[in-house]
Amino acid sequence: MSPRDLKLPQQRHPEKAHRPDNAQPKKPAWIRVRAPGGKGYSDTHKVIRDHGLATVCEEAGCPNVGECWAHGHATMMIMGEICTRGCTFCNVATGKPQTLDMFEPGRVADAVQKLGLKHVVITSVDRDDLEDGGAEHFAQTIRAVRHRAPETTIEVLTPDFLKCPASALETVVAAKPDVFNHNLETVPGLYPEVRPGARYFHSLRLLQRVKEIDPSMFTKSGIMVGLGEARQAVLQVMDDLRAADVDFLTIGQYLQPTPKHHAVASFITPEEFAAYEKAAYGKGFGMVSATPLTRSSYHAGDDFARLKEARQRALSKA
C-alpha cells in the first residue's frame, strides 16, 4: 500500500471525498491578502523545514501565513499532521495518525529559539487514538520551550480531550502555559454539521475547568462566523464563555478551503465585526479580536501583552 499524498484532496480528506461540491463564492475586497514571500517568510520556512515541523499556518491554509511568517511568527502543530476528526470546516488532513515522535518537543523548542519568538502558539491535531489525547506530549513541549527559550511566553491551543480522563487537562495546565486556548469554533446549533466529533458543552466545561485548576491562567477561545449562525447565537456564545470566566475571545470569518468543505453562508462585513467586538467588551472580556482575518494565533503575542496590561489595570482598580 503506497503512502498517502496529502497534497491530493481525496487522500487528504477521504471522509469528504463523496460529499457534493459546495460553490465557493468570490471573496469580498476586505478578505484579500497578499501572496506570501520575502526574506522573512523564506527564513521562517527554512527553520520550520530544517526541524521537520508542521505548522497549522500551512496545514489549515491560513490566509495570514505570509504576514506572520514574514515577521518570524509561526504556530507549531505537534503530534503529526493527520487528525482523527473530520470537522467539515477544517483543512487539516483526516485519518489514522502516526505514532508520537518523542524528539518533537526538543525540535519545537530549538525552532522557537532560532526564530527568536517572544510568544509561541503550540497547537495539535486531535489524537483520539491516544489515551490522554496527547496531553503529556503538550506538557513535554511546554517544558522543552521553557528550558530552551525561558523568555518566550507560551500559548497552547488544545483539542477537547473528549475521550480522556480528567487528568489529561490537569497535565497540560500543570505545565504552566501562559495562555490556555481551546476554540468553540461555532455556535452550539451548528455543531452536528460543522464539528460533528465534538460537544459544545464539553468544550465550554473544559475552559471552565482550566480556571478552576489554576485561577491565574489566562484562557482564550474563538469562533468562526459566516457558517450560517444567527447573531443572537453568537451573543449567547459570548455569555457562555464569560460564565466560564474566559478572558480572551477571537472571532473571524470562515473561509471554505475546498468545494468539499462546509459552504460559506455569508461574508460578515467589517462593520458587523466591529459590533461583535463592542458587544464582547461590553460583556466583560479582557481582550477581543474580531475582524474578517482574525484567527486564533493571529497577532497572538501582541494581543497577549494587551491582555496582561488589561488585567493589571483591573487589579489596580480593585
Q: Examine the pLDDT at 281 and tell me if it is beyond 90.
A: yes
Residue range 27-56: mean pLDDT, rounded: 67
- Write the CA distances from 224 to 183, 236, 266, 281, 294, integer angstroms: 9, 14, 11, 18, 9
Task: Please name the residues in contact with 71: beta carbons below 8 A apart, sequence gap of 6 or more.
Answer: 40
| Residue 145: pLDDT over 90 | yes
Range list of H helices, 195-299: 200-213, 231-243, 270-282
The lowest-confidence range among 72-86, 109-123, 125-139 is: 72-86
Average pLDDT over residues 11-27: 81
How is residue 301 annotated by DSSP?
Answer: H
Binning pLDDT at 50, 70 and 90, where does residue 29 land?
confident
Which of 143-147, 173-177, 202-206, 255-259 shows the lowest per-residue confidence on average (mean pLDDT)? 255-259
- What's the pLDDT at 278? 98
Neighbours of 99 (CB within 10 A): 9
In the predicted model, what is the mean pLDDT of residues 88-102? 89
Place of cell 497577549: 304
Q: Quick check: 254 and 229 in contact, CB under 8 A?
A: no
Mean pLDDT score of the chain:
87
The mean pLDDT of 123-146, rounded to a whole number, is: 96
Q: Inform me whether the pLDDT recorded for 69 exceeds 60.
A: no
Least confident of 2-6, 59-63, 121-125, 158-162: 59-63
Instruction: List, in sequence order, every residue forming a beta bridge with 120; answer none if it has no partner.
Output: 154
How confident is the model at residue 304, as a pLDDT? 76
Say what the pLDDT of residue 1 is.
42
Backbone phi, then psi, for 257, in 5-degree steps?
Answer: -65, -40
